[in-house]
Copies of this chain bind each other. A is one copy, B any other.
């Protein structure tokens, strides 16, 4: 063992405090695993008076910019958001530090530039904690499946929405009631937009897609529908078909391998699918690869200690590389696939139509499906008279064909309302 490696920590919030605590508590283990001790050279916080357990006051600073550029062996960024995080990480990379970050928003918007900068400086840029918190996921995708071909990723990567959908499913409660409960329990923010409208999941989907398909994908490339329109009727229909509803982040190769489609939306999946039993605030990512088949990673998606565990794993990897005088291969976008529009996505669908119960309705409706190249798989009629509704599931079709079918159905006089439309995933057609 020679001189210790220095680690600079930017951010003293929940995750930062957990990182500081783990670095201290596991110092001996970490030194054994790395081959050299590591020492926390500084912790940059906004308010030095608001100290958290596990943080040594003597290394605390408010000069975040100076600490970022101090040339520490490893700089950890757990501040979040685009700025000042981006400027700080660039300063650290320019100073020759390897960087470990948990910043999904930044990676999803400026990942390609930051990876290029890290490569040009000959340092590592790791971000395991940015997707699905504690779950070892990005490294396995990058390394263990490196000899395979990933075709599709289905992820439950947002704990807030999974908690809300689990409760709606269990209790038949409506969205607004459960959201209120989730806010009271601290599972949802006062402004839940980033979670429930799928922005958070979209950032993670972009990161996963980039990694799995060696293509630059940003959050803006991701088709996104939130979960606030999921109704108690949708849930009842799902239950009756042995399906559950999850907000999924999906990244997939097109069948002809020419492009990728990345999308976030509520979807029905069979209740026997491994993702169906992922409940409450847990996350899981299901990967379909050509040779490996189905693989799933499961664990806590958020929280101080789980996120810190991921950060520390990256710190150990970066530190070992430092000791060995090497870096990991830079993240590459060599495949340069096109991100295709949602209309090109191919999947199955559920529709809930409120219809007039008059002769010929089903024929008229079936005719619109056929005209738009969408094949009906099942139809169930509930109720009678004005309250009749049709629960329809389809075989696989393109999203474009399905959209056009829905537009046409809305124009039929016998269709009072298209009360629900949802994609059905993970099913053998």
On A, residues with C-beta under 8 Å from B are: 18, 22, 26, 29-30, 32-33, 35, 128, 134-136, 139-140, 143-149, 214, 274, 277, 289-300, 303, 305-306, 308-317, 320, 324-327, 329, 332, 334-335
Contacts and interface: CB of A to CB of B under 8 A. Distances in A.
A309 B291 CA distance: 6
Given A292-B306, A305-B293, A310-B292, A329 B334 contact: no
B320 A291 contact: no
19 contacts: A22-B148, A22-B291, A33-B214, A33-B332, A128-B144, A134-B292, A136-B144, A136-B145, A143-B313, A143-B316, A144-B310, A145-B309, A147-B313, A147-B316, A293-B300, A294-B300, A295-B300, A296-B298, A297-B297
Most B-side CB within 10 Å, residue of A134, A139, A315 = A134
A317 B139 CA distance: 11
A136 B295 contact: yes
B294 A299 contact: yes
B312 A291 contact: yes
A26 B149 CA distance: 8
A140 B305 CA distance: 17
Contacts of A277: 274, 277
A26 to B, nearest CB: 6
Nearest to A311: B147
A317 B148 CA distance: 13
A149 to B, nearest CB: 6
Given A22-B291, A32-B334, A298-B298, A136 B147 contact: no
Most B-side CB within 10 Å, residue of A128, A134, A136 = A136
Contacts of A324: 326-327, 329
Contacts of A305: 290-293
A126 to B, nearest CB: 10
Contacts of A146: 33, 312-313, 316-317
A332 B309 CA distance: 20
Given A139-B139, A274-B298, A313 B148 contact: yes
Nearest to A277: B277
A59 to B, nearest CB: 19
A312 B143 contact: no
A376 to B, nearest CB: 31
A283 B410 CA distance: 47
Contacts of A303: 293
Contact of A291 (B295, B308, B315, B317): B308
